[in-house]
Amino acid sequence: MIPRLNYVNLFTDDIISKEELVEYRELTDNKIKELQTKKTQLNDKMNECEDENYTVSIIQKLKDVLSLEELTPQILHSLVEKITCTDDGEIHIQYTFINPLQEL
């Protein structure tokens, strides 16, 4: 991505139009908002994982699951928030707890 100042220079040198400069600014502002939202979400998840109650809760859920002889629908529903499938067949599982292996 070209730094903002370069776009201003391109505009002042009459290489790009004012409309192109405004469009770039809007794209940049939208990307900044998107990244700020993602940062906030990551910070929230990090804080949740650091919370002592979260740790106790996840340990208890793991103990419950590991001591099971049979996985019932009720147990599965307590661990999984929702499952979605994309048009290309990719499956996404959203757990009721933070999945440390899940990519954001």
Question: In tens digits, what is the pLDDT along the chain, a chain of 104 residues?
Answer: 566 678 788 888 888 888 988 898 899 889 999 999 999 988 887 777 676 676 777 777 777 767 767 777 887 788 788 899 889 889 988 887 665 555 55
Q: At what angle do helices 18-50 and 4-12 cross, to 10 degrees?
A: 170
Tokens of 43: 């910070």
Q: What does the domain layout of the chain look like in residue ranges? A: 1-50
Specify the pLDDT at position 98. 63
pTM: 0.45
Amino acid present at 87: D
SS3 for the chain is: CCCHHHHHHHHHCCCCCHHHHHHHHHHHHHHHHHHHHHHHHHHHHHHHHHCHHHHHHHHHHHHHHHCCCCCCHHHHHHHEEEEEECCCCCEEEEECCCCCCCCC
